[in-house]
Amino acid sequence: MAEHTSLRDKLRSAAMSDTGRIRDHNEDAVAWDTDIGLFVLADGMGGYNAGEVASGIAVKTIMNLVREAYSNQDLDGIDERTGLSRPAIVLRDAVARANKIIHQTSHSEAKCEGMGTTVVACLLYDNRLVTAHVGDSRLYRMHQGKLSQVTLDHSLLQELVDRGFYTPEEAAKVANKNYVTRALGVEPLVDVEVREYPVSRGDCLLLCSDGLTDMVEDKQIELALTTFGNSLETAARQLVQMANDNGGRDNVSVVLAEVAAPFPVKKGILDRILGWFG
């Protein structure tokens, strides 16, 4: 059985969430736990303060359930039916559970009717990155000085790009790009998109709400991370400031996580012996 050792000395992280220039309250929520390599960001929507409730439920549920799994489960191995690793299944199921709680709350509390939230989460385990997302909050990765978008939005605009109606460059200039086709809490069940990737020392991950990406082009995000990457706190502040300087039309939230050292899972003596003959 694998030992669940802390990643605190393997990762650097920083986060910032801001109301922006137009909105009167912040419906984004962020949380992270560097011990287990978990980072979560949600962008709520709904009347009154219901979006704030939805994003809060999403982040708290995912954090609690993944922490519980780390305490009680062996996360080694691959699920034969889905081909997913155990950490990927844990993260997927935590997001699905958050969806159920938000949906139930929206139907039982009048002031929460119609609320929902996007979510993007990532889990770092055994030198790999597991991502889970619903909606248009994004995950980017800086690898060897180049920024790439890891997640694809669950939005009408992305569907039009996929079908060839727009190029990605044209889509970036479309005025109304915020119609999401998937969100937590809207339906009893939700399709959580889960992916897994290898990561290496020096990779920097950026989770962000559309309050950043609607206001700041990817090239400018890349430049900010390149310029201020030595201090993630400074980089986070700079990204939020750029969004606000460009209009700040929405809440803007960023979470940054950098791989400072490899984090292979330490396995027991039996696993090591079997590995010699694998």
pLDDT digits (tens, 9 = 90+) for 202-258: 999 999 999 999 999 999 999 999 999 899 999 999 999 999 999 999 999 999 999
Is it the case that residue 176 has pLDDT exceeding 90? no
Q: What angle do CA 256, 99, 130 make, to 5 degrees?
A: 40
Domain boundaries, the chain: 14-276
CB neighbourhood size of 277 (10 A):
5
Can you tell me the mean pLDDT for 14-37? 96
The answer to whether 20 and 28 are in contact (CB under 8 A) is no
CB neighbourhood size of 60 (10 A):
16
pLDDT at site 224: 97
Maximum pairwise Cα distance, the chain: 62
**226 residue type, one letter:** T
pLDDT at site 278: 46
Express as a percent the part of the chain with pLDDT over 90: 75
Can you tell me the mean pLDDT for 13-33? 97
d(CA 28, CA 38): 17
pLDDT at site 242: 98
Is it the case that residue 274 has pLDDT exceeding 60? no
**181 residue type, one letter:** T
Which residues share a beta bridge with 198?
128
pLDDT at site 269: 54
DSSP 110: G
DSSP 150: -
CATH 1.20.58.2030 fits 14-276, yes or no: no
pTM equals: 0.91
The answer to whether 168 and 126 are in contact (CB under 8 A) is no
The answer to whether 55 and 126 are in contact (CB under 8 A) is no
pLDDT at site 1: 45
